[in-house]
Amino acid sequence: MSTTPAPRVALFVTCLVDAFRPSVGFAALRLLEEAGCEVEVPAAQTCCGQPSWNSGDREGARRMARRVIEAFEGYDHVVAPSGSCAATVARDYPAMFEPGDPWRARAEALAARTHEIVSFLTDVLGLSEVSARLDAAATYHDSCSGLRALGVKAQPRKLLASVQGLELREMSDPEACCGFGGTFCVKYPEISGAMVADKAEDIAATGADLVLAGDLGCLMNMAGKLSRQGRAIRARHVVEVLAGMTDGPAIGEATAADARDARKGKAT
């Protein structure tokens, strides 16, 4: 019997997961616990500050960074089901504070312990397989922040290869941006729209049933475009598949409660 204490992990839920797709947070929790982690979800967590930082609101970003640092200090690791948010903490937080500022050292310490979830499972914990099963064909989109800032590329494919019944079909250009880019899609909607249209074509060309990714913003963007095009391709976060939690509606699909509410609305 191992006497090594379980790593104490703080789960950074992220804004989009909290607001739009809580099932991703529960799937992340299941994966971490099954991997032997002691997981906590700090109640004081808030936005990582990425929208403010990318929009030039440096002081606003620093305020949020200080709160996140305070909420997540004291854990062995901080893990997020988002390459985008994880990259903000791991790459941008130290740059938010000047050398010599006490917050700089605290930001650097937190950055060194912050990981995207699939990278954490494979690169830190050494996980090579999961026990999930899903009879489907899927394609994987490499989200920009996870890929370019954190080097997340082979890790999700490694774990997906262990999912029984799942066939992974690669796009011709899985690394191409989907056009979401946070505020980019708001500032440049026509360019963003053209980019996600190209991505939807690439996804459809694989003949896959599912498109998977590690960032919810990208998934919501791609799911919306695929739905508007009338394509029967569902979108899910990769952790939902790895955790075996695919019984519920895919991203953008109506739940039974939504359907009931819609019928009530028509009746009144």
CA-to-CA distance for 21 and 11, rounded, in angstroms? 15
pLDDT, tens digit, for every residue of 34-93? 999 999 999 999 999 999 999 999 999 999 999 999 999 999 999 999 999 999 999 999
d(CA 209, CA 261): 28
Q: Residue 259 — very low, low, confident or very high, per pLDDT cuts 50/70/90?
A: very low
Euclidean distance between CA atoms 96 and 94, whole angstroms: 5
The whole-number pLDDT of residue 185 equals 83
- Kindly compute the dihedral angle of the four CA atoms of residues 47, 53, 58, 61, in this order, to the nearest 10 degrees: 10
The CA distance from 235 to 213, in Å, is 8
Judged against a pLDDT cut of 70, whether residue 258 lies above it is answered with no
What are the b/e assignments for 153-162, b being 16+ CB within 10 Å? bebbeebbee
Residue 233 pLDDT exceeds 60: yes
* Structure confidence at residue 184 (pLDDT): 84
C-alpha separations of 215 from 36, 55, 98, 226, 265 in Å? 24, 20, 30, 17, 33
**Taking all residues of the chain, what is their mean pLDDT, rounded to a whole number?**
94
pLDDT tens figures, 142-174: 999 999 999 999 999 999 999 999 999 999 999
What class does CATH assign to 128-242? alpha beta
> Where does the chain have alpha helices with state H?
15-20, 22-34, 50-55, 58-72, 83-87, 102-112, 117-119, 144, 150, 154-160, 184-187, 189-205, 216-228, 238-242, 256-267
Entry pTM? 0.92
Q: Of 160, 170, 157, which Cα lies nearest the Cα of 133?
A: 160
- The DSSP letter of residue 77 is E
Q: How long is the chain?
A: 268
Alpha-carbon dihedral 183, 189, 195, 199, rounded to 10 degrees: 80
Q: How far is CA 54 from CA 82, 182, 214, in A?
A: 16, 9, 20
pLDDT at 83: 97
Where are the alpha helices (H) located in 161-244, listed in sequence order? 184-187, 189-205, 216-228, 238-242
Instruction: Map out the domains of the chain as residue ranges.
Output: 8-122, 128-242
pLDDT, tens digit, 9 for 90 and up, residues 105-154: 999 999 999 999 999 999 999 999 999 999 999 999 999 999 999 999 99
* More confident call, 182 vs 17: 17
